[in-house]
Amino acid sequence: TGAYASLGEKVMTRATTHSAGPYDIEHVRADCYAMYTNNPPAGAFRGFGVTQSAFAVESMMDMLAEKLNLDPIELRRMNALHVGSITNTGQELRESVGLMECIDKVSIAMCQVSGLSRDGLFKPHLVPDTSHLVCSWGFAAAYKNTGLGGGAPDISGADVELYEDGTFQVRSSAAELGQGLVTVMRLTVAEEMSVPPEQVHVLVMDTDLTPNGGPTTASRQTYVTGNASRHAATTLRDQITASMAEKYDVRPEQIRFENGIVHVNGHSLTYAEVYREMTASGQQPRVRYMYEAPKTQPLGTGGDMHFAFSFGVQAAEVEVNKLTGEVRVLKVVSANDVGMAVNPLGLQGQVEGGVMMGLGNCLTEEFIMDNGHVVTDHLARYRIPGIMLTPEITSIIVEHPTAEGPYGAKGVGEICSIPTTPAITNAIYNAVRVRVDKLPVDQELIARELWEREKK
């Protein structure tokens, strides 16, 4: 973990708690150690430890399938977590487990995009008119917690305010890193107030003007800040209802919110008019709501270590050059159980970005140390994959809602990159029978192994 612990212990814990993979394993023991070394500190990466353990587990699942002469997809189906399963930390999964649907949908999509039968997917295929380019598919599954878990309080706040011009603003200090939180907050408030999204403005990350949103980590923001925004909006709507019911002497249930208009006993009020009515009577149409996620338990104490899990399955088709060992990813099929897709287009972007980040982790990105000196001292040497390495990506949304999430939503920020690496390395093995157990993939190792095999 380098010279300082940083987040090493937390990353290690998450790798360990997910170390049985998304499978129903009755007997589990997992030990994990983080070591201080004279290297730069190692910290968090997308997937927070599960990226590492999934590489090992999913490689092993394919190795087991080969040993048992089983289809690798069928072996995963036989052992997949489902409602009623117990995780390796002892947590019972009581709802929202869409793993089997993810497996089945990716299995079907692989055949559709490749034109191959299920039996031919994991066999090597020569590229037409070549003798050195071989293609095959690989398969991998994963799961990842939503939220901090482990007994840590998971709280986020949001303000929703109605302004004089009839527009709304929703505010939180939660960080928008490109994951789409701003759109989630806008759509949530628009849904609750029955207005078009353009009528809702969003302010994030200004800690002087916004309530605490907690860290943008653990795929938590859609769940916790989404819920904070939703509850703040519903509370403000209830305040408007109570105010209008008193003014017009009607029962609250007679008031309707439709298409940006508040209908009150024959009167149709715009939100600008509602604002004037409320402020004239001394009321401020503004609500702050602090949302606290369901409580979790520390590792080893029993009960729920996490309040929700997302599930993901990916298949990758690779092309391996037998002369050079070069690997090119041609297609990726990704299915993710996200509970409910609040913003389907944004979700697709998240998945595509996650796949590319996983591809870089697998094939190109390496932080090199030489006798305590950093060799990878600028980004050009780190080799982040660009558009030329982007495969054809098919994104499939699977929705198994979780009861407490906003409209049933869970997180997708991490799960969409976790299965990418083992899907690619399993595909490499299926293509040329070279098992990769170190990252990033060393194309020289592949070429050397194939060359030595040819010599025999």
- Residues with a known catalytic role: 414
Structural contact between residues 146 and 308, judged by C-beta atoms closer than 8 angstroms: yes
Sign of CA dihedral 12, 2, 48, 148: positive
Q: Are strands 267-270 and 261-264 parallel, antiparallel or unpaired?
A: antiparallel
Q: How far apart are CA 329 and CA 319, in angstroms?
A: 6
Structural contact between residues 361 and 51, judged by C-beta atoms closer than 8 angstroms: yes
63-83 core/surface letters (b: 16 or more CB in 10 A; e: else): eebeeeeebbbebbeebbbee
Q: How far apart are CA 229 and CA 186, in angstroms?
A: 9
Residue holding tokens 């302010």? 203
Kindly state the tokens that stand for 229.
């925004």
Taking each helix axis from N to C end, the angle separating 271-280 and 221-248, rounded to the nearest 10 degrees, works out to 70
Structural contact between residues 188 and 342, judged by C-beta atoms closer than 8 angstroms: yes
Taking each helix axis from N to C end, the angle separating 344-363 and 420-432, rounded to the nearest 10 degrees, works out to 50
Q: How far is the first Cα of the chain from the last one, in angstroms, to the nearest whole number?
A: 41
Secondary structure E strands in 163-255: 168-172, 200-204
DSSP state of 307: S
Kindly state the tokens that stand for 392.
């054809």
